[in-house]
C-alpha cells in the first residue's frame, strides 16, 4: 500500500498515463524505437538533474549548470579543433575536471564567504557565458570543424542504445549507490534535513555543500561534451534557460526545495516526465515554446504538492502527541 502511495509510483503512473494519451493522437510515439529516442533526448537533462539533486538536498541550488555545460562543451570543441587526434578518454577527463572546477568555484563562495547559493550561481552563470564569448568572440564551432570521432562517440550504438543513453544509465546507477550506500550520501541528506544536528554528529556542513557543488559541476561538464558531440555545434547560448528544466525535473521527482528529502529514482522519473512532455508537444500540435511555461507550472504544482505532504505529516505527528497525553 505504501508503494502505491509513494511519489515515485505516482510519477511512474503519470508517465504511463501521459504515454497512453499521446498514443491516442499518434500511435508511433510509443514504438520502442521512438521511446529509445525520447530517452536519449532526455539523458542530458537526467544527468544534470542528478547533479542538481545533490545540491538541493543540502539546501542549496545551482543555477549555473547550463552555463557550465556550455563553457565546458565549448572548451572541448575548441580542444578538438586544435588537436583532432586527442583521445576521447582525455576529452572526457578534461570535461569532468573543468566542470568540477567551475562547480568548486560556486562551492567555495558558498562555503567560505557564506554568500547565498542563488546569488552565487546567478553570478557565475553570467560569468561562464561571458567567458565563452571572450574565448570565441561570439563565433560558432560547426560540425565540419569537429573530428568524426569527437562527434561520433556519443552517437555510437551499443545494443540498440547510443553511448549517450548508456552513460546516463551509468551515472544514475553510480549516484544511486553513492546516495544509498556511502557516508557522503548520508551526509547530503543529514545536512539538508537538519544542519544543526549534522554538526553535532561531526559533519562539516560547508564542506558537504562544497562537495555537492563539485559533483553537480562535474556532471555538468560531462554533459557539456556529450551535448556538443551529439548536436555537433558549439555556441555561446547553448542550453540557454535549461537550468529551469533541471530544477523542474528535481522538484517534480520529489526533491524537496527545503532540502533533505528525495531519491535518485524520483529524479530520473522527473526528468523522464519532462522529456516525454517535450517530445510530445509537436505530436499534439502544441508549440515547443510552451515548454518553459509547462516547466514553470510543473515546478509550482510540485512544490505545492510537497508542501501539502509536509503539512500532512506535521498534523499526524501533532495528533500522535495529543493521543500520547
Q: What is the pLDDT of residues 56-82, one digit of tens each?
A: 999 999 999 999 999 999 999 999 998
- Calculate the CA 18 to chain-centre distance: 22
Measured between alpha carbons, how far is residue 291 from residues 14, 57, 163, 266, 274 in Å?
18, 25, 26, 21, 9
pTM: 0.88
Other C-beta atoms closer than 10 Å to the C-beta of 229 total 26
Q: What is the pLDDT of residues 87-143, one digit of tens each?
A: 999 999 999 999 999 999 999 999 999 899 999 999 999 999 999 999 888 888 888
Q: Per-residue DSSP letters for 74-90?
A: HHHHHHHHH-TT--HHH
Q: In angstroms, rounded to a whole number, what is the distance separating the alpha carbons of residues 272 and 266?
A: 10
Q: In angstroms, rounded to a whole number, what is the distance separating the alpha carbons of residues 183 and 314?
A: 28
Domain count, the chain: 1
Query: Is residue 234 classed as helix, strand or coil in its secondary structure?
Result: strand
Tell me the residue range of the domain where 143 lies: 2-324
What's the CATH number where 213 sits? 1.10.3470
- Select the more confidently predicted residue: 144 or 325: 144
Q: What would the grid cell of residue 271 be?
A: 526528468
Amino acid at each position: 500500500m505504501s508503494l502505491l502511495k509513494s511519489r515515485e509510483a505516482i510519477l511512474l503512473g503519470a508517465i504511463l498515463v501521459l504515454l497512453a494519451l499521446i498514443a491516442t493522437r499518434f500511435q508511433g510515439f510509443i514504438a520502442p524505437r521512438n521511446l529509445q529516442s525520447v530517452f536519449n533526448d532526455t539523458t542530458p537533462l537526467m544527468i544534470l538533474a542528478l547533479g542538481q539533486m545533490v545540491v538541493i538536498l543540502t539546501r542549496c541550488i545551482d543555477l549555473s549548470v547550463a552555463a557550465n555545460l556550455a563553457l565546458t562543451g565549448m572548451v572541448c570543441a575548441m580542444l578538438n579543433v586544435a588537436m583532432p587526434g586527442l583521445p576521447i578518454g582525455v576529452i572526457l577527463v578534461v570535461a569532468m575536471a573543468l566542470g568540477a572546477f567551475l562547480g568548486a568555484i560556486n562551492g567555495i563562495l558558498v562555503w567560505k564567504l557564506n554568500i547565498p547559493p542563488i546569488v552565487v550561481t546567478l553570478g557565475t552563470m553570467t560569468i561562464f557565458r561571458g567567458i565563452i564569448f571572450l574565448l570565441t568572440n561570439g563565433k560558432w564551432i560547426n560540425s565540419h570543424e569537429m573530428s568524426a570521432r569527437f562527434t561520433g562517440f556519443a552517437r555510437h550504438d551499443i545494443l540498440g542504445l547510443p553511448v549517450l543513453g548508456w552513460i546516463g544509465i551509468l551515472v544514475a546507477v553510480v549516484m544511486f549507490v553513492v546516495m544509498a550506500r556511502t557516508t557522503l550520501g548520508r551526509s547530503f541528506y543529514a545536512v539538508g534535513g537538519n544542519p544543526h544536528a549534522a554538526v553535532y554528529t561531526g559533519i562539516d556542513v560547508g564542506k558537504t555543500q562544497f562537495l555537492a557543488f563539485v559533483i553537480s559541476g562535474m556532471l555538468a561538464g560531462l554533459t557539456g561534451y556529450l551535448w556538443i558531440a551529439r548536436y555537433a555545434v558549439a555556441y555561446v547560448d547553448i542550453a540557454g534557460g535549461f537550468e529551469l528544466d533541471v530544477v523542474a525535473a528535481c522538484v517534480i521527482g520529489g526533491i524537496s526545495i527545503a532540502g533533505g528529502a528525495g531519491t535518485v529514482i524520483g529524479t530520473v522519473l522527473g526528468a523522464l516526465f519532462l522529456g516525454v512532455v517535450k517530445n510530445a508537444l509537436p505530436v499534439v500540435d502544441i508549440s515547443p515554446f510552451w515548454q518553459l511555461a509547462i516547466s514553470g507550472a510543473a515546478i509550482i504544482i510540485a512544490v505545492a504538492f510537497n508542501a501539502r505532504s509536509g503539512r500532512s505529516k506535521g498534523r499526524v505527528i501533532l495528533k500522535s502527541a495529543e493521543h500520547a497525553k
